[in-house]
Amino acid sequence: MFSRLFGRKKKENEEMAEVHISPNQNWSFLGADMHSHFLPGIDDGAKTVEDSLTLIRSMIDMGYKSIITTPHVMIDYYPNTTVTIGNALQQVKDALKENNIDIPIKAAAEYYIDEYFMQLIEKEPLLTIKDKEVLVEFSMLYEPPMLFDAIFRLQSMGYRPIIAHPERYLFFHQNFRKYRELQERGCRLQLNMLSIAGYYGRNIKAIADEMLSKNMYDYCGSDAHHEKHVNVLKVMAGTKDYHTFANYPFLNNQLCF
């Protein structure tokens, strides 16, 4: 069914723009979404404030009660700081107010683990999802040599890492033990909902399904960048995956504010 959704043809994209969600089967039980790219013009997510509003309206339609949006902090591509993120958040908050759109929104970040991040940890306070929890990601193609050192340093500063979309790191697929190791080292794991929908392909879906069946995830996130992602979530709410999510003890509700 999802293969139809991920088609690249223009006609299919137009069809997706008309997706509606059932009020009886939406994502409200999750409470908060804690991974998205809704701030305008500072990463590969929303390009304009209008995009931000469209995406946020869709999240409200899907029943979400709070949004913690997480722009990339990735020195080579998106050199965001607490200032760029804070300014973009303020722009969105002002636009929400002007348009009478009522949903609590705050910003954290999705930090890319590399040498720059290792310096950043020491230099300034990091933006957190809640309390001292920090969302991190890394290359999907190779394991960064400083991965476990970064985790250790974060923890020694009192932070708790949340590993974004572990199912997407291809080099872990043949070494499932690494996921356990991340957990044993105190990391939380965050599922991308789109992975279960098959959006990133069959292999990533298979790993996500397996991790979900083994109760390995703590949070789930939309990781929505644009309306196409949001439409996949809307369709997903009408499939059997919805019930899998509804029966899983995600901690997202604890993030509502």
Residues of this chain that bind Fe ion (CB under 5 A): 110, 223
Smallest gap from Cβ 37 to Fe ion, in A, equals 6
Nearer to Fe ion, 98 or 150 (CB): 150
Give the nearest distance from C-beta 204 to Fe ion in angstroms: 14
Distance, CA of 217 to CA of 165 (rounded, Å): 10
- Provide, rounded to whole angstroms, the least separation between the CB of residue 16 and Fe ion: 20
Least CB distance from residue 164 to Fe ion, whole Å? 6
Please say which residue, 9 or 34, places its beta carbon nearer to Fe ion.
Answer: 34
| Distance of closest approach, residue 191 Cβ to Fe ion, in angstroms | 12
The long-range contacts involving 236-239, CB below 8 angstroms and separated by at least 24 positions, are 236/193, 236/196, 236/197, 237/21, 237/22, 237/25, 237/26, 237/27, 237/62, 238/21, 238/22, 238/25, 239/1
Residue 185 beta carbon to Fe ion: minimum distance, rounded to whole angstroms: 22
Report the residue number, 51 or 110, with the smaller CB distance to Fe ion.
Answer: 110
Kindly tell me which of 44 and 98 has the beta carbon lying closer to Fe ion: 44
Taking CB positions, which residue lies at the least distance from Fe ion?
223
Cβ closest to Fe ion, residue 223 vs residue 241: 223
Identify residue 39 by its one-letter amino acid code.
Answer: L
Q: Which is nearer to Fe ion, 27 or 78 (CB)?
A: 78
